[in-house]
Structure 1
Amino acid sequence: MSFALKGVAYITGAGSGIGQFAAYSLARQGVRQFALLDRNPVSDTIQELKKNYKDVEIEEIQLDVADEKAVDDSVEQTVKKFGRIDYAFNNAGVGGAVKTTDQVEKEEFERVLSVNMTGVWLCARAQIRQMLKQEKLSDSYRAYRGSIVNMASMFGVIGPSANVPTTAYATSKHAVIGMTKADAVALAPQGIKINAICPGYVLTPMIGNNMAEGSMMYNESLKVPLGRFANMEEIADCVAFLHSEASSYMIGASMIADGGFTVQ
């Protein structure tokens, strides 16, 4: 699919996984200016982008999304480099322990929320403050001053499976959806589009190495009507869609891409 995107993308967790593939998807749609943020190096992402797009411009920023000052500084650095932020993907997150409420430690619960919820909120707050200062890229009635996609999960819409009791993770993702809805309603009249992406299970390298017959992940895959987990590119393309004018009438949506897991 093609959306002919122009502007500046800001992606957290861009060094690997869905964040990395979101950068590739946005580049395929025309984006050539990227702020790529991660706690770890983003060298693989940068190398792939530069190999395929000779005119790409990249600002690499090391970032802990739970650090308020670092988040604010990263947005300031991006704007200093590119002048604006058009497409923000708040993707960085952690899975956390597979434990029920009676088992999980307070420190672990708070750690997951600090990254998956507070980190997303800190990034969105800094992005919104910047987007309110900038004008639309075009005069189209479908254009926005900026678009934000927050990373949620299908476990932000339903409870996790009984054999995957990720209490802290599910709590954080439900919270992201609530924040997305509240911000979307408040900021839409001011020209900022905010939505959430809710992936199901995604075939990351880590999960791919734990798919032996009879394993927890193998058993979860049997519950997916499509009969497989998503490839990272499939979720990344959904992110590109949410940033495009093709989704111009979607505000505060929780876009589920789970192979049918939640509709059973």
Structure 2
Amino acid sequence: MSDLLEGVALVSGAGSGIGRATSLAFVRHGIKQLALLDIDTAGMAATRKLIFELNDNVEVLEIQADLSNEKAIVDAVQKVTKTFGQINIAVNNVGIGGPICATSEMGVEDYRKVVDLDLIGLWIAQREEIRQMLRQEPRGQSPETRSRGVIVNLSSTYGHVAPSGTTPAPPYIACKHGVLGMTKMDANSYAKDGIRINAICPGFVNTPAFKAAVQQGVMQDELKKVPMGRFAEPSEIAEAISFLVSPMSSYMSGANLVVDG
């Protein structure tokens, strides 16, 4: 255990994959008050069990929320604030992959379902976190590290590029590019208020959803392009997120950190 991180942390998508690994990393690095958001209650319960195996002195709040629903997001952020008094760290791990389908063959509803969660849902979460952080007094011992809060948004390497034509994912790619845009815009707007906002851009990560795609043969061609020749483990992405929310990255805002092997 370390004391790299302090305060109240909120992690969405905490029931599995990167969200679960990030929750565990935060506890290892000193977080004692942690809010978990997910639609999957069983997944959150499993994450909480792993947290208590690391440290049974952590206060864990579990909130079931559909992050494509504005009211659910607003209510969730208010519940975190009512329980813990503030939000110092927020990780918006929001998104689904959507269909592997060319634009010419895709329906509007399939496209909109991805956008509603991956882009609009994430933006609403960021908006509510910013509103809460603006109400908070700055924390930190020095001018360099004093802040009202830190936000990290989950984008992707596909926020910079697109996959080959053999694995088309039009709404997912559009959303991940959009996440970088909203990160940069709000980072510029709220840096003066002591709020840092960055994005992380993972490559291929050994999450349950990605393993299923590989087993179906969907991502085999893309995997061959990874120079390290392997997938990332969720814990590797979680450590990069921990860096972005820590004082070690105190002069970073509006950045997008690529972690792609």
**Cα distance in 1 between the residues matched to 2:196 and 2:8:** 15
Q: Which residue of 1 aligns with 2:195?
A: 192
Q: Which amino acid in the other structure matches residue 148 of structure 2? A: R
Q: Which residue of 2 aligns with 1:32?
A: 32
CA distance 1:186–1:3, change in 2 (3 Å) = farther
1:103 aligns with 2:109: no
Say whether the 8 Å CA contact 1:3–1:244 is kept in structure 2.
Answer: no
Q: Which residue of 1 aligns with 2:21?
A: 21
String of CA shifts for 1:53-104, please: whole Å, max 9, x gaps.
0110011101111211111111111011101001100002100001121111
1:139 aligns with 2:128: no
Deviation at 1:210, TM superposition (A): 5.0
String of CA shifts for 1:93-117, please: whole Å, max 9, x gaps.
1000011211111001111010000
TM-score (norm 1): 0.94
Deviation at 1:217, TM superposition (A): 2.4
**Cα distance in 2 between the residues matched to 1:64 and 1:210:** 23
**2:172 aligned to which of 169, 174, 190:** 169
Deviation at 1:211, TM superposition (A): 4.0
SS of aligned partner of 2:136: coil
1:27-176 to 2 correspondences below 5 Å:
27-41=27-41, 42-141=44-143, 142-176=145-179
Q: Which amino acid in the other structure matches residue 227 of structure 2? A: P
Q: Which amino acid in the other structure matches residue 27 of structure 1? A: V
What's the RMSD between the two structures over aligned residues? Answer: 1.5
Q: Which residue of 2 aligns with 1:243?
A: 245
State the percentage of identical aligned residues: 43
Deviation at 1:139, TM superposition (A): 3.1
Q: Which amino acid in the other structure matches residue 168 of structure 2? A: P
**Cα distance in 2 between the residues matched to 1:30 and 1:209:** 33
SS of aligned partner of 2:205: coil
Deviation at 1:3, TM superposition (A): 6.0
Q: Which residue of 2 aligns with 1:5?
A: 5
TM-score (norm 2): 0.95
Unaligned runs of 5+ in 1: 260-264
